[in-house]
Each structure stands twice: as C-alpha cells, then as structure tokens.
Structure 1
C-alpha cells in the first residue's frame, strides 16, 4: 500500500472517530439541565434556566452540523483513496 493511500485511510479513520466522539458528546449533553435547579420561585432562576437550555440546544444543532461535515470529510477521504489506488494500478 502506498504512503498516500495509507495516509488517506488514516485520515478517514480519524474523521470517523471524531464524528463518533462528537455524536456521543451531543447525546451526553442531553443529561445537562434536565431540571431547573436554580429555582422556580424567582424570575432570575427561571430565565437563567430557560436561557441555558436554549444555549445548549443551539450548541447541539451546531455540533450536529459539524458531525455531518466531519462524516462527509471521512467519506471524501475514502473516495480519494479509492481513486488514487485505482490510478496507481
């Protein structure tokens, strides 16, 4: 196997691992802020909790977009490796 094919394959594996880890992090983040521990008896507690939940929701959406981009990168690496290997024959 050529050095370029090996490097491309490693890049694809690294991108796959990164996407998997970020996916797990997104799932684990669902355990954050499941209850309002700031208090419901004060306006600040409610608005702080609601704001933090919204911020976390936005982060999850942006992180999911990043996961999709990294998965595309992994796929592109594999396609490049296959094309390079085929042209090297």
Structure 2
C-alpha cells in the first residue's frame, strides 16, 4: 500500500528532511546512503542503497574482540610460568 504523500522543504543549505513515517517504514538510520536521480523535469527518484560491508583486511578490524577475554597480568604470568615447568 503506498504511503500517503508528505511535503518536505529544501533548506537554504540544500538539506531535506525525510518524513518520520517513511524513515520508520524503510528502517533508515543515521549515515545510510541515498541515491538521488532526476527522472523528469520536476521529478526525482530516491533509492536507499544497501549497506556496503568492508572487504579484505578492513573486514577483519575488530573481529578478535569477540573472542578476547579480559585477563589480569597475574593470570598471564601464571600461565607463562606453567609452561616453563
């Protein structure tokens, strides 16, 4: 079912607010990218771009945090000393 039309105003700096109902329906979040295309003399189409996930080495940033356990220095030293025996 189409969403009822809403009017937005272009600010002096060229910014436009997306109506709250549309943001909720499309699950739009801060920082999400939108593609703007001119489709006619007085028409614009806005497409929500899918999130681009990092690839390669960038995808690994922060990965190890999920498996890391916080340990005290004494615990590390005890484990190292056990290995020396």
Q: Which has the higher contact order (CA 8 A, sep 6+)?
A: 1
TM-score past 0.5 threshold: no
| TM-score normalised by structure 2 residue count | 0.24
Of structures 1 and 2, the larger Rg is shown by 2
Instruction: Identify the structure with the greater helix proportion.
Output: 1
